[in-house]
């Protein structure tokens, strides 16, 4: 690694950004050995690791499925198959307690045969016959994948089929002999964020070098993608240019190959289904003489809109308490999910001669968190709903719009929730904003060790859900568990997110501090017994809590984090997040980033609570150098800090249940030991 002397002088730990460098890895191994020795012998560590691994490998887990034609497909990992099986069954068999699964691909066997540490990353299956798939495999769990064509009937990779070397990219079927491909085509083919700048149409039997360019973006775009909708009678292709993380352009690719821009706001998202076009707004849009607010969902005829018509019908309009959290199509209906003060509601909308009618979605009970996890939009009005809560294990139900609902699977209770209570409270942030949070309290836990989990970014909503690992590692030991819905998330729609972008980022941290103080004010815990955990953007949150509000916490766990906001845009996918955080190379942006960037704000004289930092060498999204350098700086200044870096795992931090169980046991043991002193 070569850097200007001034950069090296400013950052003495720059050498730790050399991901696979001998010196850096020696530093990692030394810290891993020290951490494993300290916590591996800690009371209860092995017991917890064993319980977590058993739960992660349990045959009683729900094998979630996705319908493709007549089969239900599932990817499954357990103790005997740590890297997993891609398999399928029929609905009739799936209804039984012991479905008959037909294994398509054994990832462990493939890795052993090829001498690779393959991790499953998914597959795109060709419609309508569902015989071929484009399988994506990662070395060690990284975002970069290799792609290979797979025959689902012979259950073998296709000789001389479509295949791509390792890269961050995207592929998808156009038809049996053509695919859309975005990958590393060579010099100048990637954006500054490391994603494809060029998308091409590749025909079977021809060299990749001869693939025809469909669209080429700019080097400072985030990514370019193309995809095809193969719905019979409504076959369409689209190209999406991601200019920033939240803005871009969508193009309809006409049969002759010309690209027609879909004229919606740059920050809106579109969804075409049969004759309809949905538009989801992030900012207000005045069109056809009507102003639609941010967070609205609009519908119009696809062909009419491309022809210049602007007669859009609002299907959802947000209010101060309610936001759109998602939508999915069945063949003839639209299912929308909303959050009302972070509580789920679901409706079915149906087009008819007199407009759209709506009704509650059958099979969703009041006060439970539910997600539509599968529909069959090409063939039927079938849907699958997964529901549960902090203390209620997940249940999977199958329904047909207008028909009966049946329970397909119930997950077991992996921890005893008897007597636990769930409450929602609101803290008041520095600017007066009410910030919701949930508290799960075991019997007799008041005033005891409490763990706060939060994220606060990228319009991600945190909703009540059954968390087996938190249940085993925290709740079942008598700890109180808290989930906070900070600004920056999507719990109240795009404005909740946008209110904490760039120079307003400190609002996220003020919200988190307000929740921490409120927990103490309510007598739920005390600062020395309050811990916080977060990963990725949530790891940045934890880093700021550590350096800016250390007096509020007794211990922190910071996982796969961003921490050096001076250089984040230069590392891996970091440039793609500048719409969220700002551009450190712009003096005005660095002025507000510098105020909270954890790596630049470590102080020798300020007391910090004990901190655990974890990451993965194979994380090619958030650079492991963030965590490495932060730990080195904290150690240099004499602070209590612990570090562990998993060699595999990608941004998820672990590649299989063995690694996951170790990492979770480490995190929860660290927190429990420090918060129960």
Is 634 inside a domain boundary?
yes
Residues 516/345/474/443 CA torsion (nearest 10 deg): 90
Helix ranges, 222-355 (H): 302-306
> Cβ neighbours of residue 110 under 8 Å, at least 6 residues apart?
116, 118, 137
- The pLDDT assigned to 116 comes to 96
**Whole-angstrom Cα distance, residue 128 to residue 376?**
12
- The pLDDT assigned to 43 comes to 83
Q: What is the DSSP string of 356-422?
A: EEEEEPTT--TT-EEEEEEE-TTT-SEEEEEEE-SSS--EEEEEETTS-EEEEEE---SS--TT-EE
Q: Supply angle C-alpha 454, 457, 459, rounded to 5.
A: 115
Among residues 261, 283, 310, the one where a domain terminates is: 261
C-alpha 143, offset from chain centre: 12
Place of tokens 């991600």: 460
**Whole-angstrom Cα distance, residue 378 to residue 332?**
9
Residues 591-649 pLDDT 10s:
999 999 999 999 999 999 999 999 999 999 999 999 999 999 999 999 999 999 998 88
Closest CA to 484 of 508, 458, 452: 452
What count of Cα atoms within 13 Å lies in the side-chain half-sphere of residue 604? 3
**Whole-angstrom Cα distance, residue 599 to residue 450?**
26
Tokens of 358: 């709506």
Per the residue annotation, which of 138, 651, 660, 674 is the catalytic one? Answer: 651
Residue numbers in the chain where pLDDT is lower than 50:
1-2
Is 350 inside a domain boundary?
no
- The pLDDT assigned to 42 comes to 84
Is 354 inside a domain boundary?
no
Residue 422 burial (CB count, 10 A): 16
Is 396 inside a domain boundary?
no
- The dihedral built from the CA positions of residue 10, 16, 18 and 21, taken in this order, carries a sign that is positive
Tokens of 221: 């775009």
- The pLDDT assigned to 40 comes to 84
- The pLDDT assigned to 222 comes to 97
Is 280 inside a domain boundary?
no
Is 663 inside a domain boundary?
yes
Among residues 227, 261, 295, the one where a domain terminates is: 261
Detail the DSSP E strand segments found in 461-568.
480-484, 530-535, 555-559
**Whole-angstrom Cα distance, residue 677 to residue 669?**
12
Closest CA to 674 of 7, 25, 13, 39: 39
- The answer to whether residue 536 is catalytic is yes
The phi and psi torsions of 268 (rounded to 5 degrees) equal -85, 160
**Whole-angstrom Cα distance, residue 339 to residue 324?**
6
151 with 168: CB under 8 angstroms?
no
Residues in the chain: 677
Per the residue annotation, which of 237, 323, 536, 576 is the catalytic one? Answer: 536
Residues 136-149 pLDDT 10s:
999 999 999 999 99
Total domain count, the chain: 2
Is 658 inside a domain boundary?
yes
Is 108 inside a domain boundary?
no
Among residues 261, 282, 314, the one where a domain terminates is: 261
Q: What does pTM read for this prediction?
A: 0.94
- The answer to whether residue 337 is catalytic is no
C-alpha 351, offset from chain centre: 32
Question: Largest Cα–Cα distance in the chain?
Answer: 72
> Residue 519 belongs to what domain range?
5-53+414-675
**Whole-angstrom Cα distance, residue 543 to residue 553?**
12
Q: Which CATH number characterizes residue 585's domain?
A: 3.40.50.1820
- The pLDDT assigned to 2 comes to 43
The phi and psi torsions of 412 (rounded to 5 degrees) equal -75, 165
Q: Which residues pair with 452 in a beta bridge?
A: 482, 532
- The pLDDT assigned to 579 comes to 97
């Amino acid at each position: 690694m070569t850097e200007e002397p001034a950069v090296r002088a400013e950052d003495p730990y720059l050498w730790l950004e050399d991901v696979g460098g001998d010196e850096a890895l020696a530093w990692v191994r030394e810290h891993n050995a020290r951490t494993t020795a300290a916590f591996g012998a800690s009371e209860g560590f092995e017991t917890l690791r064993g319980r977590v691994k058993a739960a992660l490998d349990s045959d009683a887990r729900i094998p979630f499925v996705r319908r493709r034609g007549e089969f239900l497909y599932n990817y499954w990992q357990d103790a005997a198959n740590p890297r997993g099986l891609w398999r399928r069954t029929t609905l009739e068999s799936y209804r039984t307690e012991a479905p008959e699964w037909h294994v398509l691909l054994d990832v462990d066997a493939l890795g052993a045969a090829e001498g690779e540490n393959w991790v499953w990353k998914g597959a795109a299956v060709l419609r309508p016959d569902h015989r071929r798939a484009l399988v994506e495999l990662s070395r060690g769990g990284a975002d970069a994948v290799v792609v290979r064509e797979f025959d689902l009937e012979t259950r073998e990779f296709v000789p001389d089929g479509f295949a791509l070397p390792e890269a961050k990219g995207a592929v998808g079927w156009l038809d049996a002999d053509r695919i859309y491909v975005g990958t590393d085509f060579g010099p100048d083919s990637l954006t500054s964020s490391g994603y494809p700048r060029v998308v091409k149409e590749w025909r079977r039997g021809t060299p990749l070098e001869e693939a025809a360019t469909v669209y080429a973006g700019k080097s400072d775009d985030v990514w370019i993608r193309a995809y095809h909708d193969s719905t019979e009678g409504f076959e369409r292709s689209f190209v999406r240019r991601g200019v920033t993380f939240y803005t871009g352009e969508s193009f309809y690719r006409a049969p002759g190959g010309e690209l027609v821009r879909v004229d919606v706001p740059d920050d809106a998202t579109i969804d075409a289904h049969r004759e309809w076009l949905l538009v989801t707004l992030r900012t207000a849009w005045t069109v056809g003489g009507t102003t639609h607010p941010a967070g609205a969902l609009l519908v119009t005829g696809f062909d009419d809109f491309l022809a210049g018509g602007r007669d859009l019908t609002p299907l959802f309009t947000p209010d101060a308490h309610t936001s759109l959290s998602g939508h999915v199509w069945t063949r003839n209906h639209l299912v929308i999910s909303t959050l009302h003060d972070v509580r789920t509601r679901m409706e079915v909308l149906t087009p008819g001669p007199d407009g759209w009618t709506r009704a509650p979605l059958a099979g969703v009970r009041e006060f439970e968190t539910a997600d539509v996890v599968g529909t069959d939009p090409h063939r039927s009005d079938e849907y699958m709903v997964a529901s549960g809560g902090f203390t209620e294990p997940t249940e999977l139900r199958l329904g047909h719009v207008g028909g009966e609902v049946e329970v397909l699977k119930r997950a077991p209770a992996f921890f005893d929730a008897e007597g636990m209570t769930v409450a929602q409270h609101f803290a008041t942030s520095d600017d007066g904003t009410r910030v919701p949070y949930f508290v799960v309290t075991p019997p007799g836990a008041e005033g005891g060790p409490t763990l706060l989990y939060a994220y606060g970014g990228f319009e991600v909503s945190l909703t009540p859900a059954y968390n087996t690992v938190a249940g085993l590692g925290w709740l079942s030991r008598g700890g109180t568990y808290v989930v906070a819905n900070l600004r920056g998330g999507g719990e109240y729609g795009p404005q909740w997110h946008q209110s904490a972008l760039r120079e307003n980022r400190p609002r996220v941290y003020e919200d988190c501090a307000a929740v921490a103080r409120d927990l103490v004010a309510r007598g739920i815990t005390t600062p020395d017994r309050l811990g916080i955990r977060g990963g990725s953007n949530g790891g940045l949150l934890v880093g700021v809590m550590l350096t800016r509000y250390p007096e509020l916490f007794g211990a922190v766990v910071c996982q796969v984090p961003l921490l050096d906001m001076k250089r984040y845009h230069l590392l891996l996918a970091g440039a793609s997040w500048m719409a969220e955080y700002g551009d450190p190379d712009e003096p005005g942006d660095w002025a507000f980033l510098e105020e909270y960037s954890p790596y630049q704000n470590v102080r020798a004289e300020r007391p910090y609570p004990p901190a655990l930092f974890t990451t993965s060498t194979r994380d090619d999204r958030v650079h492991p150098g963030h965590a490495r350098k932060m730990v080195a700086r904290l150690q240099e200044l004499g602070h209590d800090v612990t570090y562990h870096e998993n060699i595999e795992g990608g941004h998820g931090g672990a590649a299989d249940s063995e690694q996951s169980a170790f990492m979770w046991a480490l995190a929860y043991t660290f927190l429990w030991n420090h918060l129960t002193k």
